[in-house]
Structure 1
Amino acid sequence: MPVTPLIKRSLVDQALEQLRERVRNGQWQLGERLPTEPELALELGISRNTVREAMRVLAFTGLVEVRQGDGSYLRGRADPFDALKAMSGCTLEQARETRRIIEVEAVMLAAERRSTEDLAALRSALAHSGAHYHHNLESYIACDMVFHQRLVDCAHNPMLSQLYRYFSQVVADSLRVVLSPEQRPQAVFDLHVQIVDALEQHDGPLAARHCRALINNGPDH
């Protein structure tokens, strides 16, 4: 298959694009040992250092496993890069639907599994975000993201926590849309407090109801 010469954009970015395309096209099988850095450098017409940097990125995303002294192996086909691109293009309602799936389920689990330390961390994050709620929007969103990540972490499911880390930028973007730069209803922030109070009482259904209302941007009526 002819290889397009690498020009204009970052060589590492272009190398990544071509390597990802080979993974998507099934050129390499799962568990297969990939060509060596010199072989890939020759194929792509770039330096070994550029190939090495591209492989480091693929290893970080979990597509490739680098075995010291043995080589690199294809570990998966689902590229988090593609997921991030899809997330960046989702609508506000799609973001809400996904938040409901992740966060509502997470608080149900958190009501069963949360520790005393988890509650203390949540209330600390809540105090920080509360101090910014009626002031600078970007400062509030940054603090609120810490609170929501800790909320999901209370479920003590590493996969769920990692999934939310990928998704958190979508949540932040949606908050910029639904929250006014000036006046924000206190009742919306109070739902955060009510979620934590419900977790403290091990009341999963109540925590889930408050969480759903928060995602819908207002208390249930």
Structure 2
Amino acid sequence: MEISKTSRLSLVEQVVAQMEALIESGTWPIGYRIPPELELMGQFDVSRNTLREAIRALVHAGLLQTKQGSGTYVLTSSVLGAALEKRIQKASLLETLEVRQALEREAAHLASIRRNNEDIEQLRILLKKCQTAAKQKDRKEYVLSDMLLHKAIVDATHNSILIDLYDHMTTSIQASIENLAEMTNDVDFHIDPHKRLVHAIIDQNTDQAMAAVNEYIAQFKETLT
């Protein structure tokens, strides 16, 4: 069996790879305006045309966004994140909720098995923040605390792929939470199932944890009808 020789990366591909590394490592964080052309040309030791072609490739991939008269900014932290964001933007709110249910139910199951003392402390802190925000009817603070609580549950799975996948969907998931909060006019309408979810994870009761996820997602779906 003949094996074809691998082709060397072109200069443009090399610059793209280096820029992706800067983005994925957080050296260029989301929202960061990348350095001007002359600085990057010197940094990568390439011509203006090569640099511009590399930037165009990353804009097309969804990692960068060029704003006329302002500069070029980091839009997301990876190609996977960009691809997911593009796809989720085309999805309905119901479809997003169904994906949330699948991810968060499995996260609840794994977190119930794998959570450690540090995870438990973080879950209690964030649940308390959700409860305080709900009591004060502070919708903005509630949405933020709620999102952080879900992320903490996913982190408690200690599954790196699930954590990365959920992180890349965070923007769209947060948008779905905000949209539903606007539609309900009652910011604490799903505090109780969240309390049951956190307590079930702490008690390592996988069935109750998954049931709690099903409960608040069902409440969300009822809001859409």
- Which ranges of structure 1 fall in alignment gaps of 5 or more residues? 1-28, 62-77
Identical amino acids, percent of aligned pairs: 22
What is the Cα deviation at residue 128 of structure 1? 1.9
Q: Which has the higher helix share?
A: 2
In structure 2, distance between residues paired with 1:202 and 1:102: 18
Partner in structure 2 of residue 35 of structure 1: 10
Partner in structure 2 of residue 108 of structure 1: 109
Partner in structure 2 of residue 197 of structure 1: 199
Partner in structure 2 of residue 117 of structure 1: 118
What is the Cα deviation at residue 155 of structure 1? 0.7
SS in 2 for 1:34: coil
Partner in structure 2 of residue 215 of structure 1: 217
In structure 2, distance between residues paired with 1:109 and 1:132: 27
Task: Check the 8 A contact 1:178/1:217 in 2, yes or no.
Answer: no
Task: Check the 8 A contact 1:137/1:181 in 2, yes or no.
Answer: no
What is the Cα deviation at residue 167 of structure 1? 1.1
Partner in structure 2 of residue 85 of structure 1: 86
Q: Aligned AA for 1:173? A: A
Partner in structure 2 of residue 11 of structure 1: none
Deviation digits for residues 35-61 of structure 1 (CA, Å, limit 9, x no counterpart):
1149999xxx94344356567889997
Flag the 1:157–1:57 CA change in 2: closer, same or farther, 3 A. farther
Deviation digits for residues 2-55 of structure 1 (CA, Å, limit 9, x no counterpart):
xxxxxxxxxxxxxxxxxxxxxxxxxxx9x75321149999xxx94344356567
- Within 5 Å, give how 1:1-221 maps onto structure 2: 32-37=7-12, 46-51=48-53, 79-133=80-134, 134-180=136-182, 183-184=185-186, 186-217=188-219
- Which ranges of structure 2 fall in alignment gaps of 5 or more residues? 16-40, 42-46, 64-78, 221-225
What is the Cα deviation at residue 217 of structure 1? 2.4
In structure 1, distance between residues paired with 2:138 and 2:188: 15
Task: Check the 8 A contact 1:107/1:207 in 2, yes or no.
Answer: yes
Task: Check the 8 A contact 1:112/1:204 in 2, yes or no.
Answer: yes
The Cα RMSD (Å) is 3.4
In structure 2, distance between residues paired with 1:35 and 1:217: 52
What is the Cα deviation at residue 145 of structure 1? 1.0
Partner in structure 1 of residue 28 of structure 2: none
In structure 2, distance between residues paired with 1:209 and 1:182: 22
Number of aligned positions between the proteins: 170
SS in 2 for 1:216: helix
Flag the 1:125–1:58 CA change in 2: closer, same or farther, 3 A. farther
TM-score, normalised with respect to structure 1: 0.65
In structure 1, distance between residues paired with 2:185 and 2:13: 59
Flag the 1:181–1:58 CA change in 2: closer, same or farther, 3 A. closer
In structure 1, distance between residues paired with 2:206 and 2:13: 55
Flag the 1:170–1:56 CA change in 2: closer, same or farther, 3 A. closer
